């Protein structure tokens, strides 16, 4: 089957079945020449890295309501953006988001470059994100390959090589299908096909516009592809966190260093995280009590088990680490997920001991 015939068939399917997403221009509008806002495409693509559409929608709405233009985001306070990002994970994305917004706003007059090369020169924008913005916002013939597209290509061509070794081959196959026009619609169509029809488990092959040309479907192995190399087990790291509340209701928190894991985020003072962390003194004088139970959280490269110590602190307390945040301004939703878990686990102790 000719590649352009396959592309045209997929676009016909997309015209009817495209997902309605807040950062998109629907196909009936894009066919009339309307293009998606590069700022909204960029923001959504950064948020969607290793994160589901369902999880991103509320964050996207929050960001675009508070900071509707890239200039607004560039002018925002770092701590406000980091707090708005809390819970979305992979916090280096938020730091790079601010860096990129400030370059676009302050050095490029608020306009995103319209080429992959120009986009990829911006902070935090790599090959995938540059291709996505170039295709979706500027209708450039860029091949966009995410996990959904890799899965579709592996099945369409019955590629047996396991991921990640198969990535170059799958990208090359995807490139042959990228049409010269409606590039943004096509990029989103392939992603939609993988997200809604060619799913990881139980693909709905009977509804697929490429079913008759799918080699894996013909061989009866669609659900087995793509193959993946088995990953090594994640190590377990340990740590301690100190959750202290002053008599007036203020909480003792500290902002983590700007770089590294959870960089720039608020959190509870504590030890480092390792297989055998060194003991650290409490951040303020008080009667610190170890809590039963532990906080468990999984990061990309390791599992964390966090022991908690809690204490009521006097109003005259002078902490050696961190600062007090008034109870009426503290919002646990501003904390990264692991720190929010620590808050919720310790809150029962504080409520019971008041």
pLDDT tens for the chain, residues 1 to 354: 457 899 999 999 999 999 999 999 999 999 988 999 999 999 999 999 988 999 999 999 999 999 999 999 999 999 999 999 988 888 889 999 999 999 999 999 999 999 999 999 999 999 999 999 999 999 999 999 999 999 999 999 999 999 999 999 999 999 999 998 899 999 999 999 999 999 999 999 999 999 999 999 999 999 999 999 998 899 999 999 999 999 999 999 999 888 788 888 899 999 999 999 999 999 999 999 999 889 999 998 999 999 999 999 999 999 999 999 999 999 998 899 999 999 999 988 988 876
Looking at 45, 79, 107, 224, which residue is catalytic?
45
Peptide bond connecting 226 to the previous residue in cis, omega within 30 degrees of 0: yes
CA distances in angstroms from 292 to 163, 306, 313, 337, 344, listed in the order given: 41, 11, 20, 20, 13
Catalytic status, residue 224: no
Q: How far is residue 6's CA from residue 123's CA, in Å, rounded to a whole number?
A: 35
Counting Cβ atoms within 10 Å, is residue 100 exposed (0-12), middle (13-18) or buried (19+)? buried
Domains of the chain: 3-224 (1.10.340.30), 236-353 (3.90.79.10)
Q: How far is residue 284's CA from residue 244's CA, in Å, rounded to a whole number?
A: 8
Counting Cβ atoms within 10 Å, is residue 271 exposed (0-12), middle (13-18) or buried (19+)? middle
3-state secondary structure at position 298: strand
pTM of the model: 0.83
């Amino acid at each position: 089957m000719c590649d352009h015939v396959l592309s045209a068939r997929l676009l016909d399917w997309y015209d009817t079945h495209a997902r309605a997403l807040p950062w998109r221009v629907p196909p009936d509008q894009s066919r009339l020449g309307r293009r998606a806002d590069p700022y909204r495409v960029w923001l959504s693509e950064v948020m969607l890295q290793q994160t589901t559409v369902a999880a991103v929608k509320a964050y996207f709405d929050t960001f675009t309501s508070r900071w509707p233009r890239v200039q607004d985001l560039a002018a925002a306070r770092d701590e406000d953006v980091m707090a708005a990002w809390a819970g979305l994970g992979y916090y280096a994305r938020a730091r790079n988001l601010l860096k990129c917004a400030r370059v676009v706003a302050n050095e490029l007059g608020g306009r995103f470059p319209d080429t992959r090369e120009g986009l990829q020169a911006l902070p935090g924008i790599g090959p995938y994100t540059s291709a996505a913005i170039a295709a979706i916002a500027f209708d450039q013939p860029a091949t966009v390959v995410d996990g959904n597209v890799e899965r579709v290509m592996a099945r369409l061509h019955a590629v047996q090589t396991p991921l990640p070794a198969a990535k170059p081959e799958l990208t090359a196959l995807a490139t042959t299908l990228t049409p010269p026009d409606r590039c943004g619609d096509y990029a989103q169509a392939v992603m939609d096909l993988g997200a809604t029809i060619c799913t990881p488990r139980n693909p709905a092959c009977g509804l697929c516009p490429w079913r008759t040309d799918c080699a894996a479907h013909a061989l009866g192995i669609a659900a087995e592809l793509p193959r993946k190399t088995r990953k090594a087990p994640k190590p377990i790291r340990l740590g301690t966190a100190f959750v202290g509340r002053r008599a007036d209701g203020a909480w003792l928190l500290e902002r983590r260093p700007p770089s590294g894991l959870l960089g720039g985020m608020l959190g509870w003072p504590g030890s480092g995280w390792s297989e055998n962390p060194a003991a650290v003194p409490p951040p303020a004088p008080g009667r610190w009590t170890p809590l039963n139970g532990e906080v468990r959280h999984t990061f990309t490269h390791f599992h964390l088990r966090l022991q908690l110590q809690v204490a009521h602190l006097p109003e005259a307390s002078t902490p050696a680490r961190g600062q007090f945040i008034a109870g009426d301004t503290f919002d646990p939703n501003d904390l990264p997920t692991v720190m929010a878990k620590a808050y919720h686990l310790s809150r029962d102790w504080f409520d019971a001991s008041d």
